[in-house]
Amino acid sequence: MHTCKKKINFAAVFALLSNTMKNSWLIVPLLFVPSLLFGQNDTLRIMRTSDEPNRTEVKEQRYEMEDTEELKKTPDSLSRVEITTIHYFIDTLTQVAYVPDSTAKQREEIIHVDSTDRRGHYIEAYVGLSYGSLGYGFTDDESSVNGFVSPLLQIQYAYFFHPNWGVGAGLWYTYSSSTAHIGGTYTWEGQTDTDLEQRYTHTSEVVEWDERQWMHNLAIPISLQFQWLHKSGKAGVFAAVGLAPSFSVANSYSVKKGQVNHSGYYPAWDLTLKDIHEFGTKDYAQEESAKGKLIVSPQATVFADVGALVPLTKQIDLFAGLYFQCGANDANKSDKHALGWKDENFTFMEDYTGAYSLNTTKSSHPYEVGIKVGVHWHHIGKDQHNIIDYFDYFTRHDTIVSILNRQDTVITERIDTLTRAHIAKAAEEVEKFNKIYFDYDSYKLSEASQDYLASIVGVLNKVPDAKISIDGHASEEGQRLHNERLAYNRAKAVAKFLVNQGIDKERVIVIGHGSLVPNEENVNHELTLDRRVEVKVVQKQSELQ
**For the chain, what are the domain ranges?**
120-378, 423-545
Rounded distance, CA 380 to CA 383, Å?
Answer: 9
- In CATH terms, the superfamily for domain 423-545 is OmpA-like domain (3.30.1330.60)
d(Cα 323, Cα 126) in Å, to the nearest integer? 11
Contact residues for 337 (Cβ-Cβ < 8 A; gap 6+) = 351, 352, 353, 357, 358, 359
**Contact by Cβ (8 Å): 356, 213:** yes
Phi (first) and psi of residue 12, to 5 degrees: -65, -40
Helix (H) or strand (E) holding 219: strand 198-219
Cα Rg of the chain, angstroms: 56
Cα–Cα distances (Å) from 406 to 38, 45, 94, 195, 452, in that order, read: 12, 15, 15, 155, 21
Where does 194-269 show beta strands of DSSP type E? 198-219, 222-229, 236-266
* Three-state secondary structure call for residue 354: coil
> Which amino acid type is present at position 71?
L
Q: How many CB atoms lie within 10 A of CB 383?
A: 8
- Of 177, 531, 108, the C-alpha closest to 368 is 177
Average pLDDT over residues 149-178: 95
User: For residues 402 and 358, which has the higher predicted lDDT (pLDDT)?
Assistant: 358
The model's confidence at residue 528, banded by pLDDT at 50, 70 and 90, is confident
Report how far residue 397's alpha carbon sits from residue 480's, in angstroms, rounded to the nearest whole number. 28
pLDDT at 240 over 50: yes
Q: How many CB atoms lie within 10 A of CB 314?
A: 10
The answer to whether the CB of 391 falls within 8 A of the CB of 102 is yes
Mean pLDDT comparison of 2-6, 41-45, 202-206, 344-348, highest-scoring range: 202-206
Contact status, residue 53 vs residue 89, Cβ threshold 8 Å:
yes
Q: 495-501: long-range contacts at Cβ-Cβ below 8 A with a sequence spacing of 24 or more?
A: 495/470, 497/445, 497/450, 497/453, 498/453, 498/457, 498/460, 498/468, 498/470, 501/453, 501/454, 501/457
Average pLDDT of 451-475? 83
* pLDDT confidence of residue 529: 87
Q: What is the pLDDT of residue 425?
A: 44
Question: Residue 474 and residue 484: Cα distance in Å, rounded?
Answer: 8
Task: Give the integer Cα–Cα distance in Å for 264 and 273.
Answer: 5
User: What is the tens place of the pLDDT at every residue in 493-513?
Assistant: 999 999 999 888 888 999 999
Name the least confident of 59-63, 223-227, 370-374: 59-63
Same topology between domain 120-378 and domain 423-545? no
- On whether the CB atoms of residues 283 and 201 are closer than 8 A, the answer is no
Of 34 and 297, more confident = 297
**333: Cα separation from own chain's centroid:** 56
**Measured between alpha carbons, how far is 138 from 328 in angstroms, rounded to an integer?**
19
Kind and range of the H or E run holding 273: strand 271-273
Query: Tell me, what DSSP letter sits at residue 300?
Result: E
Pair type for strands 144-160 and 120-133 = antiparallel
Q: Higher model confidence: residue 161 or residue 92? A: 161
Residues 6+ apart with CB under 8 A from 401: 92, 93, 94
Cα separations in angstroms, 446 against 104, 394, 453, 468: 20, 15, 11, 21
Higher pLDDT, 340 or 169: 169
Q: pLDDT at residue 217 above 80?
A: yes
Taking every pair of Cα atoms in the chain, the longest distance, rounded to a whole number of angstroms, is 207
Q: What letter does residue 456 receive in the DSSP assignment? A: H
- State how far the Cα of 209 lies from the Cα of 528, in Å rounded to an integer: 95
β 466-472/508-512 pair status:
parallel
Residue 103: per-residue pLDDT: 86
Whether the pLDDT of residue 44 is over 60: the answer is no
Stretch 128-143: mean pLDDT? 91
pLDDT of 189 reads 84
CA distance 168 to 242: 9
Q: Is the pTM higher than 0.85?
A: no
d(CA 248, CA 482): 63
For 288-440, strand residue ranges (E) read 291-292, 299-311, 316-327, 367-378, 384-415, 435-437
Residues 6+ apart with CB under 8 A from 466: 427, 430, 460, 507, 537, 539, 540, 541
Rounded-to-integer distance, Cα 323 and Cα 302, Å: 11
Residue with more model confidence, 178 or 287: 178
Angular region, 15: left φ>0, alpha ψ -120 to 50, beta rest: alpha
480 CB burial (10 A radius; 0-12, 13-18, 19+)? exposed
Q: What angle do CA 147, 254, 205 make, to 5 degrees?
A: 90
CA dist 298 → 335, 367, 476 (Å) = 16, 14, 64
pLDDT, position 224 = 97
Supply φ then ψ for residue 528, to 5 degrees.
-65, -30
Q: How many CB atoms lie within 10 A of CB 11?
A: 10
Question: End-to-end distance of the chain based on CA atoms, in angstroms?
Answer: 67
Give the fold, CATH level 3, of 120-378: Porin (2.40.160)
